[in-house]
Structure 1
Amino acid sequence: MKILHLVSTVDPRSGGPIEGVRQSGLAMAASGHQIEVATLDPIDVPYVRDFPLPLHVLGPARGHYGYCADYVPWLRAHAARFDAVIVHGLWQYHGYGAWRALRKMDVPYYVYAHGMLDPWFRLTYPLKHLKKWTYWPWAEYRVLRDAAAVIFTTDEERLLARESFWLYRANERVVPFGTNAPRDEPAVLREAFLRASPHLQNKRIVLFLGRLHPKKGCDMLVRAFAEHARETPDAHLLMAGPDQGNWQGALQAIAQSHGIAHRISWPGMLQGNLKWGAFYASDVFVLPSHQENFGVSVAEALACGLPVLVSDKVNVWREIESDGAGFVAPDTVAGTQRLLATWRSLDESTRNTMRVQARRTFDARFAMDGMVRSLTALLHEPPAGGAMQSAAAAVPAARTRAGLAMRIEPSSEQPEHTASVRN
């Protein structure tokens, strides 16, 4: 198949969705599919040059919404070359522009929601939600309604999506997300990371890997780690991730107030072998997010045999809990403290058993080949036309968070100045 992915940016600092596009695109290309990506980035940024798939650079876009006058004409001129178009994310022009360009064409388009319909955003940012309502009926609602399918990575995400807007219609499909395990030897990766960070030698590393963002619960983790640090003399918290919102200073102030500033490292964003080495050098992975559609870093930790401590707002918590690949607790300071305390209470034999199970969970649920099979099967289905497909329930589906065994309660031509980059 010839597949076009549409994204607002290929900047790796934007988080998991673009990493998913990169990894799934490479995997599908290796299987014989032709994969291309269109982005609204400017041509002169370094991550555009480094992107490993054929890339059409249509920006720069304007403003936070990412409006780009050349985007719709380019799509209308080139979409017919593809068997399917996949839009990644909502609330920016690349999605609405795709609807404008493709709704009367024979090329089906699909939308990955990437957690952007989670009601957490409505409850946490009510003013932003009201702003979204001003263009929901004439923009995002139509984008979803007319898509061949709206893709969710978990059933949890699918059900949550129904709770944000009462005007909601979509052909909902679940395609489990996937990622790749590292290819190099664990010991080699671990030692390379520790050589780069010698102060972490012989430490029991508690690893957080993700954006430093309020929704990730970073402040809760720092506070909860204070107790863990008192009880575990060789524990060290590694807060690895980009700080696009300039929040690190405030987090460091929290650490200073708890007397643990020297027990926390802030290496910034880790990529490639340094990232994998950090997983292999760590004792446990923690993600106490208030909202998390999937959590690529969770799957990456499992791929490295690293047990995970997650909140019950990480949408794969049920799978983690039922498999015994980690522990789950509420997204509070107390919940995060209990996660660390429960891990701390385990003997080494039990920890090793959980490490083996972590890798089994990855292989069974989150490996890239499973995602590629599921996505390919969906794209091969004859599209029925988004407007004619079944609507989601008009009222939100009832949800339960009942605890399981391991739960811890508490124009038609391409504009001249656009560019295509082929690597």
Structure 2
Amino acid sequence: MISNASASAEIPLRVAHVVPSIAPRTGGPAFSVLVTVLALNHGGVQAEVFTTDMGAAASAPRLTRLTAADVDPRMTYPIHIAHASHPLRFAYAPAMRKELGRRANEFDLIHIHSLFLYPQYAAFKVARDHEIPYVVAPHGALDPYYRRRGRIRKAITDCVWQRSMLENAAAFHLTAQRELELISDLAPKVPRFVVPNPVDWRDYVDLPDPRTFTGPFLGARPPSSIIMYLGRISQKKGIPALIAAFAKVAPTYPDAGLVIIGPDDEGLTPELRSTAEHLGVSTRTTFIGHLGDRDKRAALAAATIWVLPSATENFAVAAVEALAAGLPVIVSPGVNISRELASLGACVVCEPEPDALAADIAALLRDPDRRLSLGAAGRQAARRFSPESVAAQMVRFYESLLNRTPSGQTT
């Protein structure tokens, strides 16, 4: 255990969360960090966020900046945003290190999110220089799928600083049991804790009228059955397999349509459109870019089946949102929470191959009762990931690291 002699019953736990970006289009980690920190503050923890002004993933070919509209007004705690400059591929933001270093002695713990970028390096250096314990949350970055990609760049990063950061962490924060298993070979002496990402199921109880989505985005005659993908357009997501699966079921279900929603920072949409055209389903496949929160909720209200055929997925916040919306959900085994969800009867787990996906999509299209039962089980399963539940688990995790009692005293 790590003792923190400065703690007392009068001083709440103070945690700095460091994340490369909080832009919605960057995916689950940005969302989960913001919601977790909000819930921690509601639970009495003094938690703050240190991030950059990057509006897209560091790997995106074009630079975009964070805007005021990207920050949820509910996030009323301190968010420190540092300007990112070249090399943007590493989210280089030297002002972050300076500000975090200036404030370092105000924190009991630093929680570092994601890997391989400057913000993680900055947080590691500040933690080391000020002898502050730190937690590393890889958010899937250490899964075997990613270890095979960008090996040279990652090897250099590991050699220069990241291996030391991992091996000297107070603990790893993992979001699924499967993630824990996948990285069991790395830094084996470092303790690890599984705390899931939060999703507030209450946001999906009363959804907007689906026509507020279908009218503007699908026209006057939308499909009667909508097979939906909603998430980032990325190579790992298996969208070509989904398009191919839809092409197999389309002749049998002439009133069904495939709707693909999400930001495309990898420039894959033209190729995906070509795939749909080649397979003869281009007129029944609709590509929609990034949606704001209300439009996204309206899209979920309009969906018939929700599908995520990813090769790998650390947690899949979007899948839990679909469960909370009461949708029948199909996920691949590469989604790290698929086993837990399947054990609750909350989803269908399907190999991300066209034939298998087509079979499960067709089975749900012809069985409305099965869709309803999956939706009901999904709504119940989503409650397990409520922000207050996740925050309580996180506080217990922090207290165990700092050798605190629940009252805030050290032992």
Would you say same fold, with TM above 0.5? yes
Q: Which moved more, 1:181-190 or 1:207-216?
A: 181-190
**1:295 correspondence with 2:316:** yes
In 1, Cα distance between equivalents of 2:162 and 2:355: 37
Name which of 255, 265, 285 aligns with 2:306: 285
Counterpart code for 1:6? V
In 2, Cα distance between equivalents of 1:198 and 1:65: 38
Structure 1 residue 132 displacement after superposition: 1.4
Change in 2 beyond 3 A, CA 1:49/1:107: farther
CA contact (8 A) 2:208 2:297 kept: no
**1:95 correspondence with 2:120:** yes
Partner of 2:201: 181
**1:152 correspondence with 2:177:** no
Structure 1 residue 279 displacement after superposition: 1.0
In 2, Cα distance between equivalents of 1:145 and 1:185: 43
Partner of 1:217: 238
Structure 1 residue 73 displacement after superposition: 2.9
Task: Summarize the alignment of residues 314-353 of structure 1 with structure 2, pairs less than 5 Å apart.
Answer: 314-345=335-366, 347-353=367-373
In 1, Cα distance between equivalents of 2:393 and 2:173: 11
Partner of 1:12: 24
Structure 1 residue 248 displacement after superposition: 0.3
CA contact (8 A) 1:41 1:61 kept: no
Specify the SS of the correspondent of 1:318: helix
CA contact (8 A) 1:141 1:168 kept: no
What's the Cα RMSD here? 2.3
Counterpart code for 2:228? L
CA contact (8 A) 2:260 2:286 kept: yes
Partner of 1:261: 282
Name which of 36, 39, 44 aligns with 2:48: 36
CA contact (8 A) 1:153 1:176 kept: yes
Name which of 226, 229, 237 aligns with 1:208: 229
Structure 1 residue 319 displacement after superposition: 1.5
Name which of 53, 57, 70 aligns with 2:81: 57
**1:70 correspondence with 2:95:** yes
Task: Summarize the alignment of residues 308-387 of structure 1 with structure 2, pairs less than 5 Å apart.
Answer: 308-345=329-366, 347-363=367-383, 365-383=384-402
- Which 5+ residue runs of structure 1 have no aligned equivalent? 385-423
Name which of 200, 210, 229 aligns with 1:190: 210
Structure 1 residue 303 displacement after superposition: 0.6
Change in 2 beyond 3 A, CA 1:332/1:260: same
Structure 1 residue 144 displacement after superposition: 1.6
- Which 5+ residue runs of structure 2 have no aligned equivalent? 1-12, 56-63, 404-411
**1:115 correspondence with 2:140:** yes
Q: Which moved more, 1:317-326 or 1:195-204?
A: 195-204
Partner of 2:60: none
CA contact (8 A) 1:88 1:95 kept: yes
Structure 1 residue 336 displacement after superposition: 2.2
Structure 1 residue 110 displacement after superposition: 1.3
Change in 2 beyond 3 A, CA 1:332/1:202: closer
Change in 2 beyond 3 A, CA 1:110/1:61: farther
Q: Which moved more, 1:40-49 or 1:266-275?
A: 40-49
In 1, Cα distance between equivalents of 2:117 and 2:146: 16
Partner of 1:275: 296
Q: Which moved more, 1:320-329 or 1:34-43?
A: 34-43
Change in 2 beyond 3 A, CA 1:195/1:118: same
In 2, Cα distance between equivalents of 1:66 and 1:201: 41
Structure 1 residue 111 displacement after superposition: 1.4
In 2, Cα distance between equivalents of 1:309 and 1:198: 23
In 1, Cα distance between equivalents of 2:23 and 2:313: 19
Work out the number of aligned pairs and report it. Answer: 377
CA contact (8 A) 2:53 2:66 kept: no
In 2, Cα distance between equivalents of 1:378 and 1:42: 30
Structure 1 residue 254 displacement after superposition: 0.4
Change in 2 beyond 3 A, CA 1:225/1:169: farther
In 1, Cα distance between equivalents of 2:156 and 2:66: 35
Where has structure 1 moved over 6 Å in runs of 4 or more? none
